[in-house]
Amino acid sequence: MSLTLLRRLIRETIIKEVDMSEVGDLCYTAGSTHVMKTCKIGGKKYFLKFSDESLFDGFDPSLQILIEYLAYRIYGLYSGINVPHPELVYDAPRKKVGLATTPAPGKMALKIGMDPRRLGKMMSQGVYVDVFLANWDVIGTGSGNVFVDEESATRIDPGAALTFRAQGGRKGKAFGPRVSELETMLKRGMGAGNVYQYADLKVSAAEFLSVDWSTIESEIDTVRNEVSEELKTKGMDQLLDQWEADCDEIKSTLSKRYAEVAAHAKFVLKKR
């Protein structure tokens, strides 16, 4: 597909932001709280989404996209946790950033009515990381945010991790150094707890402790610098300021959360 044709196609669809020669073959609409399509980048299929501006007030709508990307990168440090490969798509003319992710294998767990006992076991390795990142909507509602095949589960759409709520609101003080999610996300009858009550927390604890804080801190710094450089180059100054402020908050908060989650994980591993 020529770049000219791609630009015209994009302008005629809901997604208006993409203006990059690396992106082509925009296809069918996929359900999301964001504006989403499929596309190809480097010959590979991706799901591509941009923030729905109607959901955001008081800050750049692309900020949640960047925070979700950071969450993906932190998840990616853990060898036992499956997440799609993420890429950021920058649209300098319209000063917007999109998130492209590779398709997840299998079917959506909630859509097929998967037994929560089995789902909890399949998601065991990432439970403490979900808690650490305050990924409140990890299971999701409706079709959900988890794909499953015969052997594994894949987490998608961590838009409710870190400083944002799933629908675009800010968590504020609810994302803090005290890890209340050790109660709310593991307790039966409370969201993810309906699934995670069946998780093997020893498996989750070992996975969480396999990555130390210095590695996570280094990844946050790396992602921050990579994204900041792109935003500077593309003149997205407002988004740059907000992104760097969020990165400061996230690194400071996660450093304290890591210590609490690690202590909980070590306690679980000592139990018989």
- Cβ neighbour number for residue 101 with a 10 Å cutoff: 20
Asked if residue 20 has pLDDT above 70, the reply is no
Confidence band, pLDDT 50/70/90 cuts, at residue 28 = very low
CA dist 163 and 142 (Å) reads 23
Give yes or no for a contact between 191 and 144, defined as CB atoms under 8 angstroms apart. no
- Mean pLDDT on 194-214: 98
Q: Pick the more confident residue, 257 or 143.
A: 257
Q: What is the pLDDT of residue 7?
A: 37
- Mean pLDDT on 3-24: 38
- Mean pLDDT on 96-117: 93
Give the domain 3-103 fold.
Phosphorylase Kinase; domain 1 (3.30.200)
C-alpha distances in angstroms, 93 versus 79, 97, 186?
Answer: 37, 11, 44
- Mean pLDDT on 126-137: 98
Among 55, 104, 66, smallest CA distance to 250 is for: 66
Q: Pick the more confident residue, 139 or 30.
A: 139
Q: Pick the more confident residue, 272 or 58.
A: 58
Asked if residue 27 has pLDDT above 50, the reply is no
Angle formed by the axes of helices 237-270 and 213-233, nearest 10°: 170
Residue 158 CA neighbour count, 13 Å, CB half:
31
Among 118, 157, 205, 134, smallest CA distance to 30 is for: 157
Confidence band, pLDDT 50/70/90 cuts, at residue 29 = very low
Write out the E strands in the chain: 23-24, 35-41, 44-50, 86-91, 96-101, 107-108, 146-148, 153-155
Cα 239 to chain centroid distance, Å, stands at 18
- Cβ neighbour number for residue 91 with a 10 Å cutoff: 21
Give yes or no for a contact between 132 and 179, defined as CB atoms under 8 angstroms apart. yes
Give yes or no for a contact between 32 and 142, defined as CB atoms under 8 angstroms apart. no
Q: What is the pLDDT of residue 229?
A: 97
Q: Pick the more confident residue, 14 or 150.
A: 150
- Mean pLDDT on 193-216: 97
Confidence band, pLDDT 50/70/90 cuts, at residue 11 = very low
CA quadruple 113, 115, 116, 120: dihedral, nearest 10 = -120
DSSP 97: E
Angle formed by the axes of helices 237-270 and 201-209, nearest 10°: 130
Confidence band, pLDDT 50/70/90 cuts, at residue 45 = confident
Averaged confidence pLDDT in the chain: 87
Q: What is the pLDDT of residue 35?
A: 54
The per-residue b/e assignment along 234-247, b for 16 or more CB within 10 angstroms, e otherwise, is bebeebbebbeebb
Asked if residue 21 has pLDDT above 70, the reply is no
Domain definitions of the chain by residue range: 3-103, 107-213+251-270
Q: What is the pLDDT of residue 57?
A: 76
Q: What is the pLDDT of residue 19?
A: 37
